[in-house]
Amino acid sequence: MPVFEIQRSIKAHADVIWKVITDHQSFTEISPDITRIETVSGEKLGIVNRIAHKSGKVWQEKCIDWQELSSYTMQVISGDYPLPVTKMQRTFSMEEGPNNVLLKLKYKYSPRYGPFGGLLNKLQVLPILKLFSHRSMDNLVGKIYDVEWGFHVTAATILKGKGSDIISISPEMKVMEAINLLTSNKIGSVLVLDAEGKIVGVLSERDIVSDLAEFGSDALELTVTEAMTHDVITCYPDDNLDKLMKCMTDRRIRHLPVVDGDQVKGIISIGDIVKTRMDELETESATLHRYINDRRWRELALQIGKQGATEEFENPAEPI
C-alpha cells in the first residue's frame, strides 16, 4: 500500500497547532478543491464528515484513530472519492520538540485496477496527491501562524502599544458636551465613570445617533446617563485576540473597555486591533528582508570573499 508524507517544522504552540488541524471545518479553507464539509455524526474518535469536491463528487470520512495532542486519522468510508483508489487514509500528526513542532501530513492508500495500480499511482494518483498536499500544507501553516498570533496577543499587549490613557466623562454631563469631547479627541466612544472611577456606562456615536433620531435636537440636552448604554461589555487584560474579536463580532460592538477587578485599564477599539496586526506584519516583513539579505551576502562572500560582498552590498550596481 503506497504511503505519501510531507512535513513542516513550525514555531508555534502545540495546542494552537492541534486546535487548527483538528478543526474539520477549516479543512475547506486550507484545501484547494474542497468546497464544503458537514459533520454527519460523532466527535473526535468516530466523527463522520461529508465532504464535497469542486468537481461535484461527495464522500464520507470517519475518524478511525485519535491520539489527543498527537495525531488523528480520517478514512474514506463511502461515496465517490475524486482519486481512483479503493482505500484512502489521511493522518495529521505532530511531534513537539524543544524549539518547534514537527507537523506531518500522511496519506496511505490503495490504487484501483489491481496490477495496473502501480502505473496508475505513478502517472496520476501520486502527482495529484503531491500537488494537493503541498498546497494544503502551505495554507495550513499560514492559518496556524494567524491563529498563533491571535493566541499570544492579548488586551494587555494592545494597550501597551497604544497606551492606557483613558478618556472618560461623568454621568451628569450633557450630550452636547460629550459630542464636543468625542470630536476634539477623534474617538467614537467614551467611558462613563462615577465619582469612584467605576464604569457605569459607555456613550458611543451609535447611542447619540439613536437619540437624535428619537428626540431630535432635544437629545443634545439629555444627560449622559439618559443617553448612554448601561450594560457595558468588558474584557480582561489576559484575554487573547481571538476572544476579543469574537466578542466584538458576536455583540456587534467596536469598543471594549479593559478592566482588572474594579480598575479600568483602558479601552480597545477594532482599529487598535487592525493597527496591532499591521505592525506585526511590518515587523515580520522587515525580519524576512534582513534574513534574505544576510543569506545573499553569505552566498556572495563564498564566491568573491567577505570584502567583495560587503562592497557589493554597500555600492550595488545600477540597474540596466
How far CA 223 is from CA of 46, 113, 219, in Å, comes to 59, 80, 9
pLDDT confidence bin for 207, thresholds 50/70/90: very high
Q: How many residues are there in the chain?
A: 320
**What SS3 state is found at 225?**
helix
pLDDT confidence bin for 318, thresholds 50/70/90: very low
Q: What is the pLDDT of residue 242?
A: 79
Beta bridge partners of 174: 223
**Mean pLDDT value of segment 253-274:** 86
Closest alpha carbon to 14 in 143, 123, 102 = 102
Q: Backbone phi, then psi, for 82, in 5-degree steps?
A: -70, -15
Closest alpha carbon to 84 in 48, 118, 35, 50 = 118
pTM > 0.95: yes or no: no
**Mean pLDDT value of segment 231-258:** 88
pLDDT confidence bin for 17, thresholds 50/70/90: very high
Domains in the chain (CATH in brackets) are 3-152 (3.30.530.20), 155-273 (3.10.580.10)
DSSP code per residue over 263-287? EEEEEEEHHHHHHHHHHHHHHHHHH
**Mean pLDDT value of segment 215-239:** 92
What is the chain's mean pLDDT, rounded? 86
Query: Does residue 317 have a pLDDT over 60?
Result: no
